[in-house]
A and B are shown apart, each in its own frame.
Chain A
Amino acid sequence: MSTVETKLTSVQDAPEKQETHVHPQPSSSQKLSTFLSTYVFSKDHKVIGLQFLFSTLLWFLIGGLLALAVRWQVAWPWSDVPVVGKLFAQQGGQMAPEFYTMLFTMHATVMIFLVIIPILAGAFGNFLIPLMIGADDMAFPTLNMLSYWFMWPAFIAFGASFFVEGGAASSGWTSYPTLATNVNSSPGAGWGQTLWLVGLTFVGVSSMLGSVNYMTTIILMRAPGMTMFRLPMTIWAMFITAVLQAFALPVLTAAGFMQLADRSLGTGFFTPEGNIVNNAVATAGGGQPLLWQHLFWFYSHPAVYIMILPAMGMVSDILTCFARKPLFGYRPMVYSVAGIAGLGFIVWGHHMFMSGMNPALGTTFMVSTMMIALPSAVKTFNWLGTIWAGRIQFTTSMLFALSFVSMFIIGGLSGIFMAATPVDIFIHDTYFIVAHFHYVLFAGTAMGVWAAIYFWFPKMFGRTMNEFWGKVHFFLTFIFLNGTFFTMHILGAVGFPRRLADAYHYETFHHLQPLNAFMTYCAIGMVASQIIFAVNFFWSMFYGPVAGRNPWNSNTLEWTAPSPPGHGNFDFQPIVHRGPYEYSVPGVDSDHLMQTDPPNAAAAAAAAAAH
């Protein structure tokens, strides 16, 4: 890490001065304040990006362990739970049903709000945006720093909620009233739910701060020659995701405040008149439970696109690099991302087909949901077109990117079943839904995140990760994730319901325990395989082979900067002469032509001929 230290000690100096030592004999309070401003409250987008990365990877581990506990109960209900049984013992080592409801609530909450959204936007968005557009930092560095530190109250709120009276929130990550709003409805509906709402608010503010920064930076701070249609897909995806965040989040934040008000201030936004839960006294009424659902899903549907579009963008960049070929259909790909985002605002009702909402309204949401499959299909065909007739290099990153395409096909196609309202009558709230979103979020986005980590690790840390162990990690993860999640589709076809601590006492489901046990073994294998990744990640950071500026021979601007880049990112002002996907250009010696390489007559002729 010595190269980083040398660069960052001159953080207080103007870029022109080349001093590498700031003060001859700093006092300890000056040393502390320099340390704090360099590594803790840094305004450098790269440091902030890494802070997000480390925090989210830690929460990924926590969320994964919560999932294993859920899987344990589903496979072997009421058996003694190892480890957790001793820590949270209620009846010997047996899991209590209210504990189970907390587990799946917090698994989803942690994965969505503390892992996937911040790792895509906070970690990769932050690290990559200025580097890929040729800027020296974000438009608002202080705001950027705040967007990370606003996550910490959320970490503390969600973390603390496990230890308060009643335990963490247990009304599902969807927090539907009146289960979530009435403190008497379940143990986790007390302090746990309040802290959940507080945590959600801070995550929302953090995302809002980030999204404003990303939009402004991408619009205003691109290097000379970097027109919008020369941006890499990663940046387009981050930009459109930021727009989604900005327009959708305020609705969730407002809904969260309304729910807090219902719980603490005696309002009745979501509570109907005379509602009595668990023999307690009725609270103020006149409200509608369905109102929460509309407000919640108005954000949470665009949220799922927030949780995949950046991964799609990064996968596009990685596929082109390791196929040594231009992206197939660049403009259609950009328009598809915009189409997914735009349509994403008018499909939220598909989460509410069975809710009691007017069924005619359900029909309109069905049509828009059917149509949103279209841009995703276009993107899939263009990824296939990208690798067609290429020269594929089987790096770890490429394997994860290829698996993203393969797994996204499954996740996307399974969505068509639930978009069909009559079929949704049967599969709503069953494991068919659970299969669908785990394929798009885990087999899709998480694989895309790993592809991105292996790809940009050299730029972040100046060393490459170990390729052999990376491939072992990929192979095991791929096998185990399919073993865990694919059969959830057929479980859903039986009607196996979600969120049940024990479904086997129903005649319809009593024969499904062996399959669930198999799936839990696969889940355990999947989480255990991540140990290989964790060891590889930390070991390579210090002892991996030193990487040069451009270990993958990629075209985009970040690969012209040092690995890792210093404060200010670039040695020289980048000037952009072409798009990001000029690989294997005829008439050019090298198989790649970087965006900043000087204009090349042979390349220009080839580009003109190719259109």
Chain B
Amino acid sequence: MKRLAGLFWSLLFLLVPILGVITFAVAPAYDIWLPKDVSEHGAAVDGLFYFILGLTGVVFVATELCLFWFIWKYDEKNDKAEVKYRHGSHVLEVVWTVIPAAVLLFLAIYQMNTWADVKMRRPNMAPTVEVIGRQFEWRLRYPGRDGVLGTPDDLHLVNDLHLPIDEDILIQLKSMDVLHSFFLPNVRIKQDAVPGMKIPVWFKAREEGVFDIVCAELCGWGHYKMKGRVTFESRESFEQWLEVKYQEQEATQPSKTET
């Protein structure tokens, strides 16, 4: 009977690894997990996530079970307990310093290439589109019929980003006012838009579809509704769409014959 309290508390601590693992195991079934990825580099990002999940998962279960086991076994009400008067173990300290250090160093080196691919190895090409964050919308600027960004015939749109699949995309990211962040969950892309800076963002989409653009840096009261949509489509479909948009924009402008 005296042991009851100790048993109760140790079982409470046992719930931590049990419910922790169950939560992560069950979540994908409820669609509360990594969203669909349509990018080329996304597999590497997700792969690293899963690798770390496996590693930390093992350490989590092992250490929490160890904690539970010690709480269960070394309850003072358990008469068999006899205190071991030890101040430490030099061998153990070396082991549990060197092994984690090696694992962490490995992890650090293992991931450097993926980061470089996404953020450092910019493709040598002209920008596909310029994205400008503004309270509270995504302004888009495509090159006009002349194919050059930054000329008077550029196409100006808001929130409706279209991009071709199976091609390198280069986005020039700017902000008009405060910090924003260009987050495409389904492309595993995120980059803060900083006023005064012009930041390149690049990726390649493998699959067609329509997905969210989310602002991921607090930009004011309308941060929650700064929603855009990105449509990935084939090159032909993309060019047809561009043509429609050019015509819509030209229809709003005075023709050159009028005075």
Interaction A to B: yes
A residues at B contact (CB < 8 Å): 96-98, 100-101, 170-172, 176-179, 182, 185-187, 272-273, 275-278, 285, 288-290, 323-332, 354-356, 359-360, 362-363, 366-367, 370-371, 373-374, 377-378, 380-382, 384-385, 387-394, 399, 402-403, 405-406, 409-410, 413-414, 416-417, 420-423, 425-426, 428-430, 475, 478, 482, 486-487, 489-491, 493-495, 497-503, 505-508, 511-512, 515, 581, 583-586, 591, 606, 610-611
Q: Give A498 to B48 CA distance when docked, in angstroms.
A: 23
Q: Give A575 to B159 CA distance when docked, in angstroms.
A: 73
* Inter-chain contact B48/A494, CB cutoff 8 Å: no
Residues of A within 8 A of B258 (CB): none
* Inter-chain contact A508/B60, CB cutoff 8 Å: no
Tell which of A170, A414, A416, A581 has the most Cβ of chain B within 10 Å: A416
Among residues of A, the one whose C-beta sits closest to the C-beta of B117 is A422
* Inter-chain contact A495/B74, CB cutoff 8 Å: no
B residues at A contact (CB < 8 Å): 5-6, 9, 12-13, 16, 19-20, 23-24, 27, 31-35, 44-45, 48-49, 52-53, 55-56, 59-60, 63-64, 66-67, 70-71, 74-76, 81-89, 92-93, 96-97, 100-101, 104-105, 107-108, 111-112, 114-116, 118-120, 135, 176-179, 181, 183, 185-186, 188-192, 194-197, 199, 211-212, 214-225, 227
Q: Give A584 to B82 CA distance when docked, in angstroms.
A: 9
* Inter-chain contact A276/B177, CB cutoff 8 Å: yes
CB contact under 8 A between A329 and B33, given known A179-B218, A391-B83: no
| Smallest beta-carbon distance B173→chain A, Å | 9
| Smallest beta-carbon distance A410→chain B, Å | 7
A-B contact list, 20 entries, CB within 8 Å: A176-B217, A179-B219, A289-B194, A290-B194, A325-B84, A354-B216, A356-B192, A359-B119, A366-B115, A370-B104, A381-B92, A384-B63, A387-B70, A389-B74, A392-B6, A409-B60, A425-B190, A426-B188, A505-B225, A506-B214
Among residues of A, the one whose C-beta sits closest to the C-beta of B36 is A508
With beta carbons under 8 angstroms apart, the residue of A178, A508, A591 that contacts B179 is A178
* Inter-chain contact B87/A326, CB cutoff 8 Å: yes
* Inter-chain contact A288/B190, CB cutoff 8 Å: no
* Inter-chain contact A387/B191, CB cutoff 8 Å: no
* Inter-chain contact B83/A490, CB cutoff 8 Å: no
| Smallest beta-carbon distance A447→chain B, Å | 13
Among residues of A, the one whose C-beta sits closest to the C-beta of B81 is A391
Q: Give A373 to B99 CA distance when docked, in angstroms.
A: 12
| Smallest beta-carbon distance A413→chain B, Å | 4
CB contact under 8 A between A490 and B74, given known A97-B222, A359-B120, A385-B89: no
* Inter-chain contact A186/B196, CB cutoff 8 Å: no
Residues of B within 8 A of A416 (CB): 52, 55-56, 104, 107
| Smallest beta-carbon distance B152→chain A, Å | 20
Q: Give A29 to B156 CA distance when docked, in angstroms.
A: 76
With beta carbons under 8 angstroms apart, the residue of B9, B32, B216 that contacts A490 is B32
Residues of A within 8 A of B12 (CB): 475, 478
CB contact under 8 A between A289 and B118, given known A328-B88, A495-B183, A508-B212: no
Q: Give A343 to B9 CA distance when docked, in angstroms.
A: 36
CB contact under 8 A between A98 and B221, given known A179-B178, A366-B111, A391-B81: yes
| Smallest beta-carbon distance B186→chain A, Å | 7
* Inter-chain contact A611/B56, CB cutoff 8 Å: no
Residues of A within 8 A of B108 (CB): 366-367, 370-371
Q: Give A367 to B111 CA distance when docked, in angstroms.
A: 10
* Inter-chain contact B100/A374, CB cutoff 8 Å: yes
CB contact under 8 A between A380 and B88, given known A366-B115, A390-B74: no
* Inter-chain contact A422/B35, CB cutoff 8 Å: no
Q: Give A385 to B70 CA distance when docked, in angstroms.
A: 9
* Inter-chain contact B16/A406, CB cutoff 8 Å: yes
Taking A426-B45, A501-B223, A503-B224 as given, write out 5 further A-B residue pairs in contact, using a Cβ cutoff of 8 Å, ordered by the A residue number: A390-B74, A406-B64, A409-B60, A495-B185, A501-B221
Among residues of B, the one whose C-beta sits closest to the C-beta of A383 is B67
* Inter-chain contact B64/A425, CB cutoff 8 Å: no
* Inter-chain contact A332/B88, CB cutoff 8 Å: yes
Residues of A within 8 A of B119 (CB): 359, 362, 421
Residues of B within 8 A of A384 (CB): 63, 66-67, 70
Q: Give A172 to B178 CA distance when docked, in angstroms.
A: 13
Among residues of A, the one whose C-beta sits closest to the C-beta of B177 is A277
Residues of B within 8 A of A495 (CB): 34-35, 183, 185, 214
Q: Give A377 to B56 CA distance when docked, in angstroms.
A: 12
Residues of A within 8 A of B63 (CB): 380, 384, 409
Q: Give A332 to B100 CA distance when docked, in angstroms.
A: 15
Tell which of B35, B104, B215 has the most Cβ of chain A within 10 Å: B104
With beta carbons under 8 angstroms apart, the residue of A101, A178, A489 that contacts B223 is A101
| Smallest beta-carbon distance A176→chain B, Å | 5
With beta carbons under 8 angstroms apart, the residue of B5, B59, B191, B221 that contacts A97 is B221
Residues of A within 8 A of B224 (CB): 97, 100, 500-503
* Inter-chain contact A355/B194, CB cutoff 8 Å: yes
Residues of A within 8 A of B27 (CB): 490, 493
Residues of A within 8 A of B74 (CB): 323, 387-392
Q: Give A423 to B135 CA distance when docked, in angstroms.
A: 27
* Inter-chain contact A354/B97, CB cutoff 8 Å: no
Residues of B within 8 A of A505 (CB): 225, 227
Residues of A within 8 A of B49 (CB): 417, 420, 423, 426, 493
* Inter-chain contact B83/A325, CB cutoff 8 Å: yes
Residues of B within 8 A of A360 (CB): 120
Residues of B within 8 A of A410 (CB): 16, 20, 60
Among residues of B, the one whose C-beta sits closest to the C-beta of A399 is B9
Residues of A within 8 A of B87 (CB): 326-330, 581, 610-611
Tell which of B13, B48, B177, B225 has the most Cβ of chain A within 10 Å: B177
Residues of A within 8 A of B186 (CB): 508
Among residues of B, the one whose C-beta sits closest to the C-beta of A98 is B221
Closest 9 CB pairs of A and B: A272-B196, A389-B84, A98-B221, A359-B119, A391-B76, A329-B88, A584-B83, A495-B185, A501-B224
Tell which of A394, A478, A511 has the most Cβ of chain B within 10 Å: A394
Residues of B within 8 A of A390 (CB): 70, 74, 81, 83-84
Residues of B within 8 A of A172 (CB): 218
| Smallest beta-carbon distance A331→chain B, Å | 8
With beta carbons under 8 angstroms apart, the residue of B114, B178, B183, B192 that contacts A185 is B178
| Smallest beta-carbon distance B3→chain A, Å | 11
Residues of B within 8 A of A414 (CB): 56
Q: Give A354 to B216 CA distance when docked, in angstroms.
A: 10
* Inter-chain contact B221/A389, CB cutoff 8 Å: no
| Smallest beta-carbon distance A378→chain B, Å | 6
* Inter-chain contact A421/B115, CB cutoff 8 Å: yes
Residues of B within 8 A of A409 (CB): 59-60, 63-64, 67
Q: Give A383 to B35 CA distance when docked, in angstroms.
A: 38
Among residues of A, the one whose C-beta sits closest to the C-beta of B189 is A425
* Inter-chain contact B20/A328, CB cutoff 8 Å: no
Q: Give A430 to B176 CA distance when docked, in angstroms.
A: 24
Residues of B within 8 A of A171 (CB): 218
CB contact under 8 A between A422 and B104, given known A101-B218, A186-B221: no
* Inter-chain contact B70/A388, CB cutoff 8 Å: yes
Residues of A within 8 A of B9 (CB): 394, 399, 402
* Inter-chain contact B107/A494, CB cutoff 8 Å: no
